[in-house]
Amino acid sequence: MLARAPPRPCSGAAVAGDVPSRRPWVPAGGLARGGGAGGVRLVAARPVVAAAAGERRMVSPETVAAAADSGMTTQLANGSSSAVAGISKFVTSTVGKSTNILWHDCPIGKSERQNLLNQKGCVVWITGLSGSGKSTLACALSRELHARGHLTYVLDGDNLRHGLNRDLSFKAEDRAENIRRVGEVAKLFADAGLICIASLISPYRSDRSACRSLLPKSSFIEVFLNAPLEVCEARDPKGLYKLARAGKIKGFTGIDDPYEPPSDCEIVITCKIGDCPSPKLMADQVVSYLEANGFLKD
- Judged against a pLDDT cut of 90, whether residue 278 lies above it is answered with yes
56 falls within a domain: no
DSSP reduced 3-state for 82: strand
- Judged against a pLDDT cut of 60, whether residue 184 lies above it is answered with yes
- Judged against a pLDDT cut of 60, whether residue 178 lies above it is answered with yes
Distance of CA 269 to the CA centre of its chain: 28
Give yes or no for a contact between 137 and 283, defined as CB atoms under 8 angstroms apart. yes
pLDDT by residue (tens digit) across 241-257?
Answer: 999 999 999 999 999 99
User: Measured between alpha carbons, how far is 146 from 161 in angstroms, rounded to an integer?
Assistant: 25
Give yes or no for a contact between 159 and 134, defined as CB atoms under 8 angstroms apart. no
Residue numbers of the domain that contains 234: 110-293
Burial of 27 (0-12, 13-18, 19+ CB in 10 A): middle
User: Measured between alpha carbons, how far is 191 from 175 in angstroms, rounded to an integer?
Assistant: 24
DSSP assignments along 57-106, one per residue: EEPPHHHHHHHHHHT--EE-TTS-EESSTTEEE---EEETTEEEE-----
DSSP reduced 3-state for 78: coil
DSSP reduced 3-state for 49: strand
228 falls within a domain: yes
pLDDT mean over 88-93: 74
65 falls within a domain: no
- Judged against a pLDDT cut of 50, whether residue 295 lies above it is answered with yes
- Judged against a pLDDT cut of 80, whether residue 45 lies above it is answered with no
148 falls within a domain: yes
Give yes or no for a contact between 232 and 241, defined as CB atoms under 8 angstroms apart. yes
212 falls within a domain: yes
pLDDT mean over 63-76: 44
Give yes or no for a contact between 261 and 226, defined as CB atoms under 8 angstroms apart. yes
Sign of CA dihedral 60, 62, 68, 70: negative
252 falls within a domain: yes
Instruction: Tell me what pLDDT residue 6 has.
Output: 52
Active site residue 219: no
168 falls within a domain: yes
Indicate the number of domains in the chain: 1
Average pLDDT, the chain: 80
Instruction: Tell me what pLDDT residue 293 has.
Output: 96
Angle of helix 205-212 relative to helix 172-191, nearest 10 degrees, comes to 20
- Judged against a pLDDT cut of 60, whether residue 39 lies above it is answered with no
Instruction: Tell me what pLDDT residue 145 has.
Output: 98
Q: Which of 203, 204, 226, 223 lies closest to 132 in space, CA to CA?
A: 226
Q: Of all residues in the chain, what percent carry a pLDDT higher than 90? A: 63
Question: Which amino acid appears at position 223 of this protein?
Answer: V
- Please state the pTM of the whole predicted model: 0.70
User: Measured between alpha carbons, how far is 166 from 291 in angstroms, rounded to an integer?
Assistant: 36
Catalytic residue chosen out of the listed positions 88, 130, 202, 219: 202
237 falls within a domain: yes
Angle of helix 134-147 relative to helix 279-292, nearest 10 degrees, comes to 60
CATH number at residue 232: 3.40.50.300
Question: Which amino acid appears at position 135 of this protein?
Answer: S
